[in-house]
Amino acid sequence: MQGERRITQASSYSVHEIKAPTGTIVREYVSASGQVFGVAWQGPWLPDMQQILASYFETYRKASDAQTNSRTGRRPLVVNQPELVVRAGGHMRAFAGQAYVPALLPKGVTAETIQ
C-alpha cells in the first residue's frame, strides 16, 4: 500500500495500521503467532480488496457478485460465509468496512474488536 505504518500491541494480538497516500486507513489485526485474522478500512477510497483479502479474495468476489446481481439500490455489502465475514459500505469519499476469518479469531477476541 506504500503508506505510513503504525503498530499497536494488545493482549493477544497487534494492530498494524497503514495510512495510504490516498487517505484510506487499513488496520490489520495480527495474532501473536503472526497470522492476520481480520482487517478494517475507512477513508475516501476503497482499498485494493484483492491485496488486503489475499487468499480469501475469491470467496469475497463470488459473494459480492451474487449480492450485486440480486439486490436493487445502494445497500451495504454483507458476506457471511463460514470461512469469511465481510461488512462494507459507504459512498463516494466515505467508505468503511471490516473483514475477518471466524476460525482465526484469537481466544477472547470478538468480531466487534475489528474496527
Per residue in 33-51, pLDDT tens?
A: 999 999 999 999 989 999 9
Looking at the predicted structure, is the pLDDT value of residue 72 above 60?
Answer: no
Which range is least confidently modeled, 28-37, 54-63, 71-80? Answer: 71-80
Task: Give the max Cα distance, the chain.
Answer: 42
Q: How far is residue 79 from each of residues 9, 31, 32, 61, 94, measured CA to CA in Å?
A: 28, 22, 26, 10, 20
Average pLDDT value over all residues in the chain: 91
Instruction: Report the chain's terminal Cα–Cα distance, integer Å.
Output: 19
| Rounded distance between C-alpha atoms, residue 70 and residue 68, angstroms | 6
CA distance 64 to 21: 26
